[in-house]
Amino acid sequence: MHTRQRLLAILDGAAPDRVPWVPRLLLWYNARRATGTLPPQWEGMPLREVERALGCGTPARDGQVAQLRYEGVTVERRLEDGLEILSYHTPVGSVRQVSHGSETLRGLDMGGRVKEPLLKGPDDYRVWEWVAEHSYWDATYDAYRAYDAGIGDEGLPMVSVGDAPFHWFLLQGAGYEDGYLQLQDHRREVEHLLAVMTEVERDRLWPVLEASPARLLLHGVHHSSSYTPPRMYERYILPYYQEFNPRMQSAGKAVALHADNDTSRIARLIERAGYDMVECFVTAPMVPFTLEQARETWGTRVIIWGGLPSLLFAPSVPEEEFRAEVNQVLDVVAPGDAFILGVSDNVMPDSVIERVAWVSELLEERGRYPVRARE
């Protein structure tokens, strides 16, 4: 089997020939390329070739099946005194977000810290409702098929298609702290905005996704025990996904959550939401949730893509400890059902990259299905 066949087998509830190994190398690669510190043997090589050299699959996260289009909305981006200003102008007013930026961050393909959130109160909600009501999604199926063909056997595209409106409001609209304060002060107005956004996406985005050729959708990022705690998750996020996920699954799609946060207190809600997969799933010691606890909670009903916290690849971690931890992961997931080995969230810029190649070699020895736990 090749990587694509292994991933498809797991999505179908079948057994692959061995545990797939698909880490994210993007941050490491971009940082090393930007600073001229790529290992000499890979200098000038694109990321895909580096992944091949290391013996791992590609995460294939750049495919699109829908392109957002606004009617009657002007989007303006500009740099001013070291600040990045993003504005949306409509006939009923304007909203803007201001972020600190730098050439270094842009070179690493990373955004800056938000100084001024997009939505600051009810006046901004009314503008954003107008933006939402004038949002449309055009199918880009041919572009997706071309991207998918380029990925070939080395991976399976996972198509990012947004988030529940409530979490968008917290993460990108108002910010977590201000968002919860605004929800307390203006609950009726916030809930009206969320209802408008949900209705628009249900009517215009969901049908495009259902009819798309994509098999794996990524819908939802950074849900966490702290920022989307159980009470709020159950009230504002769970109902949305209990409608969205079954619709996509009925159309032959699997839906993943980008789970690189502490999900310990919302793990059962994630399953109730109907997710097929948690990807970039992060575990202890980076969060208070172990791989063993995740398996106890979900069994093999929720596919786990992750298992290796990024800090294990740091040079401060002794090689013996790193290798012992990787072997322990294989012990936990034996015989290997519903599991894709990955790094949460990325292999970081200071990582010992040779460890990625070592994992590839180990899986040739220990990763064959059925994986056997050590005595």
Per-residue pLDDT of 29-51, as tens digits, reads 999 999 999 999 999 999 999 99
Tokens 């590609």, located at residue: 58
Residue 285 falls inside a structural domain: yes
Domain range for 316: 3-69+134-161+205-366
The pLDDT, as a whole number, for residue 82 is: 85
Buried b (16+ CB within 10 A) or exposed e, 321-355: ebeeebeebbebbbebbbbbbbbbbbbeeebbbeb
Residue 11 falls inside a structural domain: yes
CATH number at residue 347: 3.20.20.210
Sheet containing 83-90, strands listed edge to edge, beginning at the edge strand earlier in sequence: 74-80, 83-90, 93-100, 114-116
Residue 111 falls inside a structural domain: no
- For residue 326, the one-letter residue type is V
Residue 104 falls inside a structural domain: no
Count of beta carbons in the 10 Å neighbourhood of residue 59 = 23
Tokens 């810290």, located at residue: 113
Q: Three-class SS string for 319-373? A: HHHHHHHHHHHHHHHCCCCCEEEEEECCCCCCCCCHHHHHHHHHHHHHCECCCCC
Residue 241 falls inside a structural domain: yes
The pLDDT, as a whole number, for residue 146 is: 98
Query: Which residues of the chain have a pLDDT value below 70?
Result: 102-111
Residue 96 falls inside a structural domain: no
The pLDDT, as a whole number, for residue 111 is: 66
Q: What is the pLDDT of residues 97-122, one digit of tens each?
A: 999 976 666 665 566 789 999 999 99
Looking at the chain, the whole-number percentage of residues with pLDDT higher than 90 is 95
Is residue 283 within 8 Å of residue 297, measured between CB atoms? no
- Domain count within the chain: 1
* The model's pTM: 0.95
The pLDDT, as a whole number, for residue 81 is: 87
The pLDDT, as a whole number, for residue 374 is: 92
The pLDDT, as a whole number, for residue 375 is: 78
Residue 88 falls inside a structural domain: no
The pLDDT, as a whole number, for residue 271 is: 98
The pLDDT, as a whole number, for residue 102 is: 66
The pLDDT, as a whole number, for residue 112 is: 78
**How is 271-332 classified by DSSP, letter by letter?**
HHTT-SEEEEE--TTSSS--HHHHHHHHTTSSEEEEEEEGGGGSTTS-HHHHHHHHHHHHHH
Separation between Cα atoms, residue 338 and residue 16, nearest integer Å: 9
Q: What is the pLDDT of residues 302-340, one digit of tens each?
A: 999 999 999 999 999 999 999 999 999 999 999 999 999
User: CA Rg, the chain, in Å?
Assistant: 21
Residue 373 falls inside a structural domain: no
